[in-house]
Chain A
Amino acid sequence: MRPVGFSTTPNLVLRLPMWRSRLMLFLLFFVFMMLLLRAFWIQGPGNAFYEAKGVRGTQRELELPASRGKILDRNGQVIATSLEAKSIIAYNDTVPDDLAADKVQKLASLLQISESELRKKLKDERKQIFLKRQVDPEIAQQIKQLEIPGIGLNNEYRRFYPDGEAMAHVVGFTNVNDKGQEGMELSREKELAAHPGQRRVVVDRLGRVVEDVAIEQLPQNGKDLQLSIDSKIQYLAYNAVKSAVEQHHAKAGGAVVLDTQTGEILALANYPSYNPNDRRNLSGEQLRNRVLTDTFEPGSTIKPLTISIALEKGAVTPNTNMVIGASYLVGPKPITDTHPYGNLTVAQVIQKSSNIGTAKIAMNNLSPEEMWDFYTAVGLGQAPKIGFPGAVAGTVHPFNKWMPTDQARIAFGYGISASLFQVARAYTVFARDGELVPLTIERSPEVKQGTRVLSAKTAIEMREMMETVTEPGGTAVKAQTEGYRVGGKTGTAHKLVGKGYGNSYRAYFAGLAPISAPRIVVAVMIDEPTGGSHYGGDVAAPVFSTIVGETLRTLNVLPDNKVKQMVLDDKSPAEIRTANVQTQHVALKR
């Protein structure tokens, strides 16, 4: 036997099975493969998550501000504009609890709220809360200088209305989010609205913008809107209505001024009004645009329309004599006049505003259908299409439902309803020699083509009759305007209270001027005048006169009436011109 060394005894030789090393090799290979795969995944298809993380650290979305369109009057004067303001935001988890008392006090006084209110807001559970919106940039700057942690500023816009009350019902107003709520701000929201853009930028460690990545959306400023309103005329119309309402202790009033050539609305005034710059405490009463949204029985203002139909048919002429009498029985109740008249010509029926006369002309010469056709043709019973929110249609009942008593009363304006605006529009027919002009509230200074509803002859005859209303013997002597021939028609309507007529009235005057070549139509309404007279000729006519005089002067319309005129042209002989100038100097020195 061969001797065997201790260390080499075959019994001690360990024979590792082959599979174990194979397994090891495989496992190592497998793990490395997994790592490789993972690396490949992260680099390639699964990259989005990490990329997003990276982007979040270095890129920001920034808003590109856009401002709401301005609203301008016909002369380009601003009547609504958006200026930058700041909103003050508190991030309540960042605001320290032990904020210095003097800082709280300062902040509260800058925000114009009480200290306790401010502390309550800062304790609010919500993470971020508006402390105040639409703060003046200067005040915002002072707040920023307080350097309170967790108080942030945000850019926003605030709407300003330099004309305040006078223009409130036309332009309307916006809410804190710059969205239109009333008036043109609401109806033209689409065009006026701003569309802020967005861009993506790379920022550095300190948050400074280093690079543009992309503009994701271009900012779009709102379009400017130019109205047909003349802020001067609007202001004087508003003032005239306001002082009349105050003088007659009336509930409300309204006036509208139309340019008969272009169909533009020059003024649309309402009282009571509100300040659109301060939108707290707004009530429905103040917000109502009475000229467009209130319908009423137009009363006597409709008489010229009714009588025009008879004139147009040739059934009567302005000089046709009529027996009026003290009352006229149609249906259960007799029709009466404020003063009994014996005989009147058709022209005098207008001048004196005789209910009986108008009813007789209608009953003897007109069919309900003819009347309905004409009223509808001049726009009664249809909402005016001028893009104003809440413009009403009024009612003209279908003619086949009219009983004779209805027809007689509709002839002088009871039993139908219309807004003041509709009445004014209907009167453009007389101003435009028989054409009804399409109206607009946006500036469009070209002369518009109208729709013919009356012959020029009838319209001119009616215009002359309407002038007699303002002459001695007429119902509205107070409508006379210095320097200009004016014509129109008064209206005094009993207001419907519940089912019957109460003891309150509406006084109107609708008319046109100057008679020789009408340029404007003005309609005035005073609701429930209580101090003294309630007649249109006493209450509304003076307002008409003021508005017409000042408007025509503003529009540089040459006077056409009997007031001694001093017109200088190069055809006047030199001595007359100097004489005139001298008279003028004398007049001015007076």
Chain B
Amino acid sequence: MNRATLTLLALLLICALSLVAAQQRARKLFIAQERAQIEERKLNQEWLRLEYEQRNLSKSARIRDVARNQLHMVPISPERTLYLKEAQ
């Protein structure tokens, strides 16, 4: 065996090992990406749910109920309203 063959063999071995390593890394990254995607979906859902919840808590029916019954507020009427005009 001459030197050229030996060098090539070594190169081949290095390539083979780095291929294995790269594949391993690809798998790991893929799993991480997969997890991140699931997380993203979850957060998206969570956001939608919170948006819905916020809307539910801020809907007119509830505001009216709370204002009238808990805070004892009354509807505004024009003669008790002060209108401010923007400076021209």
Contacts and interface: CB of A to CB of B under 8 A. Distances in A.
Interface of A: 65, 67, 77-78, 81-84, 160, 162-164, 166, 209-212, 231-232, 235-236, 482-484, 550, 553, 558-559, 563-570, 580-581, 584, 587-588, 590
Chain B CB within 10 Å, residue with most, of A162, A163, A590: A162
Contacts of B61: 163-164, 166, 235
Contacts of A580: 82
A564 B82 contact: no
Given A84-B45, A559-B78, A569-B85, A78 B51 contact: yes
Interface residues of B, number: 29
Contact of A210 (B30, B77, B83, B87): B30
Contacts of A231: 59-60
Given A235-B59, A569-B88, A587-B80, 13 more contacts: A65-B41, A83-B49, A162-B52, A162-B56, A163-B59, A231-B59, A236-B60, A559-B83, A563-B79, A566-B81, A567-B83, A569-B84, A569-B86
B77 A483 contact: yes
Contacts of A587: 79-80
A446 B60 CA distance: 26
Given A162-B55, A483-B77, A83 B48 contact: yes
Which of B60, B61, B84, B86 gathers most chain A CB within 10 Å? B60
Q: Is the interface of A mostly helix, strand, loop or mixed?
A: mixed
B76 interface: yes
A588 B79 CA distance: 10
Main secondary structure, interface of B, reads helix
Interface in B48-84: 48-49, 51-52, 55-56, 58-61, 75-84
A482 B51 CA distance: 36
Nearest to B58: A77
Given A482-B79, A567-B83, A77 B34 contact: no
Contacts of A565: 78, 83
A378 B56 CA distance: 39
Contacts of B75: 550
Given A81-B48, A83-B52, A162-B56, A558 B83 contact: yes
A235 B55 CA distance: 14
A166 B60 CA distance: 10
Contact of B52 (A160, A568, A570, A588): A160
Contacts of B25: none
Contacts of A553: 76, 78
A231 B87 CA distance: 31
Given A77-B55, A163-B59, A166-B61, A209 B34 contact: yes
